[in-house]
Amino acid sequence: MTSLAPVKLLLVVPAYFPDSYGGAERQALILSEALGATGVDVTLVAPTTSKTAPLLEVTSFGRIERCRVKAYPNLGGRHFLDFLKWTLWFYWRYSGQSHRGSSIYIFHSRLHAFGPVLAGMRRNSRILVKLGGGGGASEFDALRSKKYFYGKWIEKLLLKRVNKFVSNSRQITDELLLLGVPDARIAQFHNGVVVPDDKIIDASLHLRTGASFIYAGRLREDKRPQVLYDAALALLKAGKFNPTLVLLGDGPEAERLANLETTKKYLNNFEFPGFKGDVYPNLLRCDFFLSASMREGQSNALLEAMSAGLIPVVYAASGVKDVITHGVNGFIVPQSSPSAFIEAMTVAMCLDRNERVRMATKAREFAKSHISIDRIASLTLDLLQHDGQGQS
């Protein structure tokens, strides 16, 4: 990728490291690094509730700048003053001459987007918004449901003033069209991942057992790790299979599930490694990626697993059908229930070695062709420079 002219970008996220370690934060980091490698000057901007996080951090791609608040701006309501502080801070800091010519790329259409949009309007900047969810996770529904008037008002402002909405699933695109956003203002392409080297993947495929499953992400109730745990436990109790389940990540469900008596009984079958900045060492030793979450945009963890040659066994959340063809490069589970996952995991463990390698290779090939972070950075740069459609 090469840029036609120097590009300056303000990339705005609702939270960032060290406050939060989710998919959006990871996506912001690797996209900033990939864009920075092409010569784009990136300023990653985020609120922080941390008392120790640096307000300015120099990076390889440019810099990270933070605004210290007591509560995240997205919360609104009784935290309105923090929303107001963030909005005014962003507007006055980034609407001046020193940032003229910078495009603004906002992750998620929530309350934190208000200040960046106002700053962009003042200096006539190009404004992009990447939506984080569709269906039950729709961010516009979340804005609309805010108790006070400003949620609906900000929704209307975004729909009117944003130059380009970046959608990572057909479902999100369809919802934007229903809201009256014309197709010309929508760019649909996947999230991106760092794709491991082929030699690493090939070596790992020969070591996999055919019965190892992993979930990677936040271990919270809304991600439904209990469903995966119950399915694995039922298969262990039945005695026909001997699956292992790695629940990788942190959150309140990690400690609760790890301390169950059944976990202690099947100590060799359940693992809780905690949060890992690099998920690939844990992914590469597993056969299948699991997710029962019903509220997703497009799961970064799913895409990383596919890039590592894991076979997805996942509930049909938003964005899943855009990357998985059932029975070809993964399995789409119709219900987020233990019984549905027991059935799908049984089918997966019954695959012979050749079938597993075939499906794993298909998942990997999709990742290399469609979701490498360099490809996604190229599509993003096209939006910033040429008003490209960005269709994958």
Closest CA to 37 of 1, 5, 6, 73: 1
Q: In what order do the strands lie in the sheet with 331-333?
A: 270-274, 244-248, 212-216, 288-291, 311-315, 331-333
DSSP letter (8 states) at residue 278: -
For residue 96, the model assigns a pLDDT of 81
Strands 56-58 and 62-68: antiparallel
CA distance 90 to 211: 49
| Residue 236, token pair as written in the block | 């262990």
Closest CA to 189 of 211, 164, 206: 164
CA distance 206 to 192: 26
Q: Which residues of the chain form CATH 3.40.50.2000?
A: 8-192+372-386, 198-370
Identify whether the C-beta of residue 314 lies closer than 8 Å to the C-beta of residue 320: yes
Name the architecture of domain 198-370: 3-Layer(aba) Sandwich (3.40)
Write out the DSSP string of 235-255. HHHH-S---EEEEES-SHHHH
Query: Helices 114-122 and 80-94, interaxial angle, to 10°?
Result: 30
Count the neighbouring beta carbons within 10 Å of the beta carbon of residue 81. Answer: 11
**CATH number for region 8-192+372-386:** 3.40.50.2000
CA distance 26 to 362: 24
For residue 11, the model assigns a pLDDT of 97
Ranges of H-type helices in 194-251: 198-205, 225-238
Identify whether the C-beta of residue 78 lies closer than 8 Å to the C-beta of residue 148: no
CA distance 43 to 171: 30
CA distance 268 to 131: 40
Closest CA to 11 of 82, 76, 65: 65
pLDDT tens for each residue of the chain, 392 residues long: 444 456 899 999 999 999 987 788 989 999 999 999 999 999 999 999 999 999 999 999 999 999 999 999 988 888 999 999 999 999 999 988 777 788 999 999 999 999 999 999 998 999 999 997 666 567 777 777 766 677 889 999 999 999 999 998 888 899 999 999 999 999 999 899 988 888 999 889 888 999 999 999 889 999 999 999 999 999 999 999 999 999 999 999 999 999 999 999 999 999 999 988 789 999 999 999 999 998 766 788 999 999 999 999 999 987 899 899 999 999 999 999 999 999 999 999 999 999 999 999 999 999 998 989 999 999 999 998 876 444 44
CA distance 33 to 16: 15
In sequence order, what E strands does 132-250 have? 164-167, 186-188, 212-216, 244-248
CA distance 150 to 254: 36
CA distance 8 to 327: 43
- Give whole-number Cα distances, 321 to 129, 287, 297, 332, in Å: 22, 20, 12, 8
For residue 136, the model assigns a pLDDT of 58
Write out the DSSP string of 19-65. T--SHHHHHHHHHHHHHHHTT-EEEEEEEE--SSS-SEEE-SSEEEE
